[in-house]
Structure 1
Amino acid sequence: MLSFRARLFLAFALLWLLFLGGAWYLAGRSVDQALKRRLEATLAQDALRAAEAYQKGQAGALLTTGGVYLHLYAQDGTPIALTRPDHRLPPERLRRAGPTPEVLWEEGFAAALVATPLGLLVLTAETSPIEAALEALREALLRAFLLLFPLGLALVYLTARLAARPLEAVAREITRRSPDRLDPVPHRLPKDEFGRMVEAVNALLQALKEAKERERAFLAEASHELRTPLTVLLGHLDRLARNPMDLEALRTARATAERMRRLVEDLLALARGEVERNLNLHIVDLGEVAREAALEYGVAAEAESAEVLGDPDRLLQLLRNLVANAVRAAGKEGVRVRVRREADHALLEVEDSGPGIPEDLLPRLFQRFARGPGGGTGLGLAIAHAIAKAHGGEIAVESRPGRTVFRVRLPLLEEEA
């Protein structure tokens, strides 16, 4: 396949050829028409003057412009006087004569006819001067074409080369790169279509770079999160190996294994995107879900009935994550769950009286592995955020020492609005 530079050169060369060919044709046609109009005007003017002189009997005044020949015909078309026998017109052409001069074009000459009471006057002129002028013009245009066409091709080649050089530099830069090199591609393109294209590629590379960095950080955090409980679990198993009746070590090992199981489930849910996909939608009473979660963790609940369209399991998971986070921060006695209707939304609040969340943590609180004072895996809030977003809702937090409130807004069903 031809390169971009070659295609650009061929396109410009074709345009240059069409331009020169069109100029050649239009110039010849324009000059041809101008010369013919001038000859027609000359013949018509001489025909009028000759007709006036002939009707007045002033035969000596039948003078014409140079190169014009005068012929006399009877009314029936019979020649009376022909100054150029080869310019004789057939009778059917003479019948077109009238008081106003009419110009006819014959092969090799042009004729102007005018009728008078005494007969028909015909003035003729050869067209060879016009043809000679046109031939000279064509030769001059051809010489100009032969001179300008190669010069134009050279200019087109340089233009195509200069236009393609920045793109070729960008292409070489991208070709030389390894899959791990995702920094922006340097370029000197203007802000045109190609420049915007490279900027879009750079934006994509930046997004891929950030995604890869997040992936590395995620894997590092996940490895750390799994290594810590594994170390604890192995320690307790060593204790059990030395003393199989150590019930405290057994309980701690079981709790550690349960924490690892939840961590792995959360990691799989985030990695597979299961939080956002495959929602099993039903009509769900958010107040009932809140009461179930509150009962499970033994915290206080004030929950109105508020029906939403959602996945009951995912919404219960959202409640569990928020309540578990609050219980770790403030204990069961310091946590309260509320659900109420607010305009066309259901408002879910989980409030605790814990120490609060540091201000520097709030902007990234819903990111993976962002831990608050209560500890945890750092995934629960990220999953809660994803579940709320998947249900068309939003989640926000307000925190100060002694009071932290997580608020989730979900669209109510239309009949509840």
Structure 2
Amino acid sequence: MKLQYQLNIAFTTLLLVIMSVTGFVIYSLILDLLIQDEKAELEQKGELLVQILNEESRQPRIDQFGGFLQDQNLELLLYNRILDQVIDSTMPKQIVGSFLADNDFSNMDKELWSLGDIKYVNSRILFYPESTGLELILLTPLTELQAVQQDFIKQLFIVFVIGAVAAVILSYLFTNKLVTPLTRLKWQLKKVEKRQFDAIEPIKATGEIKEVEKSVFEMANELQRYMKSQQTFFQNASHELKTPLMTIQGYAEGIRDGIFGSEEKEKGLEVMVTEVNRLKKIINEMILLAKLDSEQTSYDPETIYLTSIVDQVLDRALPIINEKEIRISHEVDETLTIHADPEKLLRALLNITFNGIRHAKSYVLINVRQINSMITISIEDDGEGIDEDLIPQIFHRFIKGSQGETGLGLAIARAIVEQSGGNITVGTSELGGAKFIVAFSEN
């Protein structure tokens, strides 16, 4: 069942329940209110009659009010509480006897009296002085009040029906306004499913649906970027693997066919070994990167002093520093620690440092400091820097500069840093070259 129908049914059901409960409460209360109002009116009429009867010196008689009582649809009893007798009445004696038999006249709090199936509202007024024991009792049938009650309920029911129809129509309009963006969003997701990223269109929505729409478009853009990066990866990977294989194949066929002399053969064998080592390095780094991305590698975090990690980076970078005659310096707060896998973090920092050394002219700077709640490791050089067009892709696989090797080092560094809960960015250094910043939250 569609969401719009479900919302309409739920709203209509809730409305019917509320209206039913409200109607029942009103039905119960309206009769009580009518009875109280009728008792108050009877009391006013009764006091007026008592006043008239009290002014007469002789024994009070109620037959003089017969016309008035008949017009008002009232019955009147003159009751002597001391004798527990009805001494006068507008009702036949037989009916009066039934009243005495069916009702307890001594109970002053009873609101309704009964005579067979007929209920009566009563009002009792004492004559003065009270020592006379006389009491005037006015009675009116409950049927009239029940008729008023039924008429009121009928009108209320009509109002409820009109209100319910209006509410259902409004419910349909509001749910339609709510569901329509979801329906349109569904069709945009269908386009994502079919990889029609260029055909995705924004939809008009508000509130949480707008947030969902924003998340869907961000997901679509990220998926599109990922698919393009995967295509680029396979293209670059095939190129990077194809080039050394062709070199190896050319020399191997030349040696097999006896085309090369002894000196060229030795050179060919040396080139083949170099290319095989290069292939091995590329494949190992591809395997490592795939494991890092799929989280299949073991990750053993522990508390690391950053000064120790930087010292290890400098020790391993020493041969290439001496070879290229590069000067490297570092500034490290010895108290700073992070929680990460030391072996993998060392690999990431080595990749970034070697990248800086390869592109530096004469100087590389490593700086470790704490800024607010972040611990940052910056590695910068005085080389030519990174081309602006290359910066957004620099951490992608097989993206490399003019002096790059496999194009996987920075991708591996990013994967390790992100797995360690940090992030890595690149920009322009004040030294003139590139500046890589690795940032971690403080433990």
The TM-score normalised by the length of structure 2 is 0.73
Gaps of 5+ in 1: none
Counterpart of 2:290 in structure 1 is: 271
The change in CA–CA distance for 1:379 and 1:20 in structure 2 (over 3 A counts) is same
**The 10-residue stretch of structure 1 (357-366 or 390-399) with the greater mean CA deviation from structure 2:** 390-399
Cα deviation for residue 105 of structure 1 reads: 1.1
Using the alignment, how far apart are the partners of 1:347 and 1:178 within structure 2? 41
Match among 383, 407, 413 for residue 384 of structure 1? 413
Instruction: Kindly provide the CA deviation profile for residues 328-366 of structure 1, in whole angstroms up to 9, marking residues without a partner as x.
Output: 435xxx555655664585856464x54443344345433
Structure 2 contact 181–209 (Cα < 8 Å) conserved = no
SS across alignment from 2:16: helix
Q: Is 2:271 the partner of 1:252?
A: yes
Instruction: Kindly provide the CA deviation profile for residues 12-37 of structure 1, in whole angstroms up to 9, marking residues without a partner as x.
Output: 43245335545644554454334323
Cα deviation for residue 248 of structure 1 reads: 1.8
Match among 65, 71, 76 for residue 70 of structure 1? 76
Structure 1 contact 356–373 (Cα < 8 Å) conserved = no
Structure 2 contact 254–260 (Cα < 8 Å) conserved = yes
Using the alignment, how far apart are the partners of 1:160 and 1:42 within structure 2? 49
Using the alignment, how far apart are the partners of 2:369 and 2:267 within structure 1? 48
Counterpart of 1:56 in structure 2 is: 55
Cα deviation for residue 84 of structure 1 reads: 1.6
SS across alignment from 1:258: helix
Indicate the percent of aligned positions where both proteins have the same amino acid.
20
Counterpart of 2:106 in structure 1 is: 95
Cα deviation for residue 40 of structure 1 reads: 0.6
Q: Give 2:85's aligned amino acid.
A: T
Using the alignment, how far apart are the partners of 2:417 and 2:124 within structure 1? 96
Counterpart of 1:219 in structure 2 is: 234
Using the alignment, how far apart are the partners of 1:315 and 1:150 within structure 2? 67
Residue correspondence of structure 1 range 348-359 to structure 2 within 5 A: 349=379, 351=381, 354-359=383-388
SS across alignment from 1:93: coil
Structure 2 contact 113–121 (Cα < 8 Å) conserved = yes
Cα deviation for residue 128 of structure 1 reads: 2.2
Instruction: Kindly provide the CA deviation profile for residues 166-196 of structure 1, in whole angstroms up to 9, marking residues without a partner as x.
Output: 5456546756875433457557553144454
Q: Is 2:59 the partner of 1:36?
A: no
**The 10-residue stretch of structure 1 (207-216 or 378-387) with the greater mean CA deviation from structure 2:** 378-387
Gaps of 5+ in 2: none
Structure 1 contact 229–260 (Cα < 8 Å) conserved = yes
Cα deviation for residue 80 of structure 1 reads: 0.8
Structure 1 contact 355–400 (Cα < 8 Å) conserved = no
Match among 288, 293, 311 for residue 288 of structure 1? 311
Q: Give 1:357's aligned amino acid.
A: I
Structure 2 contact 12–168 (Cα < 8 Å) conserved = no
Cα deviation for residue 79 of structure 1 reads: 1.6
Structure 1 contact 184–206 (Cα < 8 Å) conserved = no
**The 10-residue stretch of structure 1 (248-257 or 28-37) with the greater mean CA deviation from structure 2:** 28-37
Counterpart of 1:110 in structure 2 is: 121
Counterpart of 1:80 in structure 2 is: 87
Using the alignment, how far apart are the partners of 1:96 and 1:401 within structure 2? 103
Q: Is 2:253 the partner of 1:230?
A: no
Counterpart of 1:122 in structure 2 is: 137
SS across alignment from 1:73: strand
Using the alignment, how far apart are the partners of 1:398 and 1:174 within structure 2? 36
Cα deviation for residue 302 of structure 1 reads: 4.8
Q: Is 2:5 the partner of 1:3?
A: no
Instruction: Kindly provide the CA deviation profile for residues 263-319 of structure 1, in whole angstroms up to 9, marking residues without a partner as x.
Output: 222222223226976334454612431232123425355568857555443344335
**The 10-residue stretch of structure 1 (73-82 or 312-321) with the greater mean CA deviation from structure 2:** 312-321
SS across alignment from 1:112: strand
Cα deviation for residue 214 of structure 1 reads: 1.9
Cα deviation for residue 198 of structure 1 reads: 4.2
Using the alignment, how far apart are the partners of 1:399 and 1:187 within structure 2? 36
Using the alignment, how far apart are the partners of 2:208 and 2:428 within structure 1? 48
Match among 236, 252, 260 for residue 243 of structure 1? 260
The change in CA–CA distance for 1:231 and 1:185 in structure 2 (over 3 A counts) is same
Match among 398, 410, 425 for residue 369 of structure 1? 398
Using the alignment, how far apart are the partners of 1:405 and 1:172 within structure 2? 44
Q: Give 1:6's aligned amino acid.
A: Y
Structure 1 contact 40–103 (Cα < 8 Å) conserved = no
Tell me the C-alpha RMSD between the 2 structures: 4.3
Using the alignment, how far apart are the partners of 1:132 and 1:318 within structure 2? 90
The change in CA–CA distance for 1:349 and 1:111 in structure 2 (over 3 A counts) is closer
The change in CA–CA distance for 1:9 and 1:381 in structure 2 (over 3 A counts) is closer
Using the alignment, how far apart are the partners of 1:156 and 1:410 within structure 2? 53
